[in-house]
Amino acid sequence: MSMKKRFEFLEHTADVYIAAYGQSLEEAFENAASATFNAMTEIEKIKPEVEESVEVEAHDEHALLYNWIEELLIKFETTGKLYCCFTISSIEKTPTGLKLKAKIWGEPFDSKRHLQKVGIKAVTYHRMEIMKKPKAVTIKFILDV
């Protein structure tokens, strides 16, 4: 990807409001994950030492975004790992909705190297948007801190 903006933090009084961009839904979801971890710490200081697979399912794209971010936050909470690289191999239609398959890379949290910015409690549906144009997808969502 070129030097185009991948994501930005939008103004919000109490929580973290994110707009993530991509040329495809997959790329926008990858950038949403990057933004989520960038809200927590300096993502460029996370080393991609451990590779993991992630699969989530949902009935529509909004629920898929919610489940994707929620799964990453649960992984952080249960394993203590921060993630920096996200590659979605597919978002496929299923008989019940959609299925996302991805690889993620990261390392265990190290308080000496990983500055703690904000603690994220959850992703929310509040003000969630997915806007698609040819070769341009913008997604917006709020993280509860």
Distance CA 88, CA 14 (A): 30
Q: Residue 5: pLDDT band by 50, 70, 90 thresholds?
A: confident
**Would you say residue 104 lies in a domain?**
yes
Quick: pLDDT tens for 53-86. 999 999 999 999 999 999 999 999 999 999 999 9
Residue 17, in any domain of the structure: yes
Task: Let me know if residue 99 belongs to a domain.
Answer: yes
Residue 129 lies in a domain: yes
> For residue 2, is it within any domain?
no
Q: Among residues of the chain, what percentage have pLDDT more than 90?
A: 82
Compute the residue count for the chain: 145
Segments forming the whole domain that contains residue 92: 7-144
In a domain, 1, yes or no: no
The sign of the torsion formed by the CA atoms of 69, 55, 45, 119 equals positive
Per the structure, the count of domains in the chain is 1
Residue 12 lies in a domain: yes
Residue 95: what pLDDT?
Answer: 96
Position 1 confidence tier, pLDDT thresholds 50, 70, 90 = very low
Detail the DSSP E strand segments found in 1-66. 7-10, 16-22, 50-58
The band of 13, judged by pLDDT with boundaries at 50, 70 and 90, is low
Residue 67 lies in a domain: yes
The per-residue pLDDT of the chain, averaged, comes to 93
- The predicted structure's pLDDT at residue 12: 60
Q: What is the CATH number of the domain that holds 36?
A: 3.55.10.10
